Structure 1
């Protein structure tokens, strides 16, 4: 029994551990290409627009190995790569594809996230501010990909690609993500929902980080912050 279990461990290491290492390496490669594409896109936007209107700041920043960002006026696209490998939940529609039925191991994926934050959230370190997940790019062992996201990014790449992901495809994904950010305005909440605020909230939470803000929230006051304080 011990020998049998030991052999099973070796088999699992081959079918799971080595597989996940391969997917991790693929995701690292794709993330490097994604950062490169975002940097190029930022340079093009800076040249074609910012020079004609210097008040609109467009700046790319490579934060570290697993993160990069592009600031465009009041918005920011933040790229991040998860260091782990995932599989889909049981019953996910992806399992009905012939591609996965031929090889279940193709369903394991690395993940690259595209978030939208307000640029002022980062500038003023407003830790209570909320961002939005615009899309996530899922990369498998074959470097095939799907995208889950908002708007067009919710259906354009909903099945695994027939070819390996490339910089041209990545650029299109990033362009759609940026358009999504620009087209989503920061909206004021109803006046009645933000009318009341305690002195404690004013002197502590708001004084420390500014008005908690996000495109979905507008900004928060009494009811929302009381909920946050109770968490």
Structure 2
């Protein structure tokens, strides 16, 4: 390999690896803060709901280093940090920001996803049940961030240049995700969609796990246009 090209490859590797490690570190910091806040929210809500309904379940589950579950009654929110770092395609709105135009490195982001599931999907081990992407948080090396999501999450934080992640911002994101999920009620699927079962499913007593359940199963869920 020619010395000039070799040096260029080494230099590019140094720059990219260093940048991505920095973004990863900041994203992980935010995720750890989110984990801590969800634990506290779980404790606070548990204490409050005991006063009017002792059977109302509120819980936090530390699933893995990059995944946590927050359950409130029949709703479960799954928060997942992706371990890779991403940038955006040339048509994305982020490139119109002067903040990114001044330094393209600012476009490299870590991602935290927020999914909504029915709690019974986990409780009764129904692997065919459907969850929905409620929002995703993009965080760069300077902890600037923006959120893509449903309803309030879609406009709560969409100014990448001025939004810097802190506890107050993170709490608003969590609260908005919880409120959206509580207000997002399941529809019963169309009759014909659940019209057939096999004898084997009945004999093996696994009918519950084979009947897919989702809040909008069988209906068009408008997510692609928002994400």
Q: TM-score, normalised by structure 2?
A: 0.89
Q: Quote the Cα distance in structure 1 between the aligned partners of 2:151 and 2:127.
A: 27
Q: Quote the Cα distance in structure 2 between the aligned partners of 1:163 and 1:149.
A: 16
Specify the alignment match of 1:142 in structure 2. Answer: 142
Q: More strand per residue: 1 or 2? A: 1
Q: Does residue 1:216 correspond to 2:216, yes or no?
A: yes
Specify the alignment match of 1:169 in structure 2. Answer: 169
**Cα pair distance change 1:16/1:199, threshold 3 Å:** same
Q: Does residue 1:55 correspond to 2:55, yes or no?
A: yes
Specify the alignment match of 2:67 in structure 1. Answer: 67
1:40-189 to 2 correspondences below 5 Å: 40-160=40-160, 162-189=162-189
Contact 1:127–1:209 (8 Å) recurs in 2: yes
Q: Shift of the alpha carbon at 1:200?
A: 4.8
Structure 1 unmatched runs, 5+: 220-231
Specify the alignment match of 2:224 in structure 1. Answer: none
Q: Shift of the alpha carbon at 1:202?
A: 4.8
Specify the alignment match of 2:9 in structure 1. Answer: 9
Q: Shift of the alpha carbon at 1:10?
A: 1.9
1:28-43 to 2 correspondences below 5 Å: 28-43=28-43
Contact 1:80–1:113 (8 Å) recurs in 2: yes
Contact 1:109–1:139 (8 Å) recurs in 2: yes
Contact 2:99–2:161 (8 Å) recurs in 1: no
**Cα pair distance change 1:74/1:149, threshold 3 Å:** same
Question: Once superposed, what is the RMSD of the aligned Cα atoms?
Answer: 2.0
Q: Shift of the alpha carbon at 1:159?
A: 2.2
Contact 1:94–1:159 (8 Å) recurs in 2: no
Q: Does residue 1:26 correspond to 2:26, yes or no?
A: yes
Aligned residues: 219
Q: Quote the Cα distance in structure 2 between the aligned partners of 1:218 and 1:123.
A: 23
Q: Shift of the alpha carbon at 1:210?
A: 4.5
Contact 1:41–1:171 (8 Å) recurs in 2: no
Q: More helix per residue: 1 or 2? A: 1
Q: Shift of the alpha carbon at 1:22?
A: 0.6
Q: Shift of the alpha carbon at 1:132?
A: 0.5
Structure 2 unmatched runs, 5+: 220-227
Tell me whether 139-148 or 155-164 shows the greater mean CA deviation. 155-164
Q: Shift of the alpha carbon at 1:6?
A: 1.3
Q: TM-score, normalised by structure 1?
A: 0.88
